[in-house]
Copies of this chain bind each other. A is one copy, B any other.
Amino acid sequence: MPNITRREEIDFLLYDLLGADKLLARPRYAEHDPETIGAMLDAALKLAEDKFQPHAAAVDADEPHFDGTRVHMHPQVRQALDAYRAAGYPTVGFSEDLGGMQLPMTATSALKMIFSAANVSTTGYTFLTAAAAGMLAAHGSEDLKARYLDKLITAEWFGTMCLSEPQAGSSLADIATRAVPQPDGSYRLTGRKMWISGGEHDLTPNIIHFVLAKIPGGPAGVKGISLFCVPKVLPDGTRNEVQLMGLNHKMGYRGTTNCALSFGDADGAVGWLVGPEHQGLACMFHMMNAARIGVGAGAAALGYTGYLHAVEYARGRPQGRALAGRDPSSPMIAIIEHPDVKRQLLRAKAYAEGGLALCLMASRLMDDIETGDEAEARTAADLLDVLTPIVKSWPSDWCLEANDIAIQIHGGYGYTRDYPVERLYRDNRLNPIHEGTKGVQGLDLLGRKVSQNGGAGFRALMDAIGDSAAAASPDPALAGLAQELIVARDRAAGVTAALLGRAGAVGPDAFLANASVYLDMLGHLTVAWIWLRQGMAAQAGLAAGASGARAAHLKGKVAACRFFFAQDLPGIHPQCDLLERMDRSAIDTEAAWF
């Protein structure tokens, strides 16, 4: 069953691809080296195998339920989280001055992906908590930090983010929760929140909610949103006015409670402002951007474990014979030898490993922002800005596709709950929805990110792609791919310039009509770039004399790189065509015609 991840894959991504050894040489990470990180990865994998993966199917079948008073949850969820806390994993990414282990984000993400792959819904509680702690550290008052930061960093208490409301899903301008200032400097909050992951449970003695609300008299729309810290249990030990209205019963991801919450049914829930008044959205985006990258990483981890299950099944399942010479008296072959199964596996590999690499590269950019020199940090920040919607969305779409392929490779067995692959699909299906749907990410990318900061992020991406293509060109095995990448990049750059150039003339509807096609297109280009880099890293390893299992792994990387260029990347050209002509076939369709 395990198939959670492979150490050689993580090592390849960390060291061959992302040069984490050079990262670890920076002063901030002096306490760590590849050996200690390797030991942590092994320990994480063991804990994930022992405590997280075993109850993943059970909590899916026996999801948390609310009896009107309290939430009942499969007991192994708590046991796993207690063990995770006891081993110190919640603190890995925080700086030492906050009591953390100060690991690079690149290694932190690799560790967390292990737990996501093993059991994404049990793990979910801690990820939200870490994102909440990061935001509180950045924006909270000294008082609030003194009261809550350490508890959140150690995950003694869990945190949530409360944005959506039943009447205003993605439209934060329309939230109706109100926060009325009190003489003692606190606020009283009244309103209802929806889709709150981890909004109620008894896994920790307190839950710290971070809540968007409006202070009466402030500006309309998003400019009047403030952020509040609202604990379930107040400092004096009494229950705050935060009530669970009901649990949502989901397709997957069932171990993470997802809640409708009511704040302030009597006098108002007590909360404290985080950051300045009316600046709540900017503060929340600190948490939201980290969460979006986390969504991508979770999606990639789920896609990768699905792929590994499919590889194991395809190696072990004999069926049929080679197409040439189908002598029925000859023994059957393993299905991995059938060309169509091989093609499906290679697609899944290209998506899953492409997604892993994309998300770890995003973490590497976060490390460069934190510890790179000034130029590195600025480029990394620009790049991460433009890449965030892609990092959130591409794995949510394509690593989900890897999960779909894993079902298909298992045939009828994949459609049953005796094998994990259908559950992995259902778990991963949340990822294109939460933390901003794919539609929202497309608007963010084309409507904001590519032109933001004078287009610096987009230019940085185009330059980085050009640099990699130039570096790959001397290798005859990769020169053709490098050339295709440049053609695709130039096409994307041309389309982007054309769209931006005409945006004002055609108006926002026509400009953004195919924003999600743009997101698909730029996502595939970005992943092709990352695959070329993986191909280069693999070729370097082979040239350095890799043998045995490592050589097979590296050859697989080159094969998946070639496959992605041959069978997936060319799909962006018809996308560029329709973007360039600003295809109006959707927006010219009237609502009454559906």
Contact = CB atoms under 8 A, between A and B. Distances in A.
Given A250-B417, A433-B408, A586-B339, A173 B328 contact: yes
A430 B413 CA distance: 11
Contact of A170 (B320, B336, B408): B320
A418 interface: yes
A208 interface: no
A549 to B, nearest CB: 9
B553 A319 contact: no
Nearest to A558: B593
Interface stretch (A261-269, A374-382, A564-572): A564-572
A570 B174 CA distance: 40
Contact of A591 (B321, B323, B334): B334
Interface string A564-594: 0011001101100110000101111111111
Contacts of A250: 415-417
Instruction: Say how many copies of this protein the assembly contains.
Output: 2
B516 A442 contact: no
Contacts of A337: 591
Contact of A437 (B311, B411, B429, B585): B411
B169 A319 contact: yes
A509 B417 contact: no
Greatest chain B CB density within 10 A among A414, A514, A586 is at: A586
Interface string A342-368: 111110010000000000000000000
A590 B509 contact: no
A197 B195 CA distance: 37
Contacts of A252: 415
Greatest chain B CB density within 10 A among A169, A195, A345, A443 is at: A169
Interface string A470-512: 0000000000000000000000000000000000000111001
A413 B594 CA distance: 21
A567 B585 contact: yes
B509 A248 contact: no
A169 B249 contact: no
Nearest to A195: B412
Contacts of A438: 408
A66 interface: no
A222 B328 contact: yes
B593 A411 contact: no
A453 interface: no
B433 A414 contact: yes
Contacts of A508: 323-324
A429 B562 CA distance: 30
A566 B585 contact: yes
B512 A339 contact: yes
B319 A170 contact: yes
Contacts of A466: none
Contacts of A425: 251
A231 to B, nearest CB: 25
A432 interface: yes
Contacts of A326: 173, 221
Nearest to A567: B578
Given A339-B512, A508-B323, A412 B433 contact: yes
A429 B442 contact: no
Interface in A321-335: 321-324, 326, 328-329, 332, 334
Interface string A64-91: 0000000000000000000000000000
A583 B567 contact: yes
A535 B578 CA distance: 21
Contact of A339 (B328, B407, B587): B587
A593 B417 CA distance: 28
A344 B555 CA distance: 39
Contacts of A230: none
Given A169-B319, A248-B416, A422-B251, A343 B567 contact: no
Contact of A319 (B168, B415, B430): B168
A356 B167 CA distance: 35
A194 interface: yes
B328 A220 contact: yes
A322 to B, nearest CB: 7
Contact of A589 (B171, B346, B513): B346
Given A408-B438, A412-B434, A574-B574, A559 B340 contact: no
A300 interface: no
A317 to B, nearest CB: 8
Contacts of A249: 416-418
20 contacts: A174-B332, A251-B407, A251-B416, A251-B426, A252-B415, A323-B447, A336-B591, A337-B591, A339-B515, A342-B591, A343-B514, A411-B433, A422-B429, A517-B567, A552-B592, A552-B593, A562-B585, A566-B585, A570-B577, A574-B574
Closest 8 CB pairs of A and B: A221-B328, A556-B593, A570-B574, A323-B508, A343-B586, A340-B439, A171-B320, A559-B589
Given A248-B418, A250-B416, A311-B594, 12 more contacts: A164-B412, A170-B411, A171-B321, A221-B326, A323-B509, A342-B586, A408-B433, A408-B439, A411-B437, A555-B590, A556-B589, A556-B593
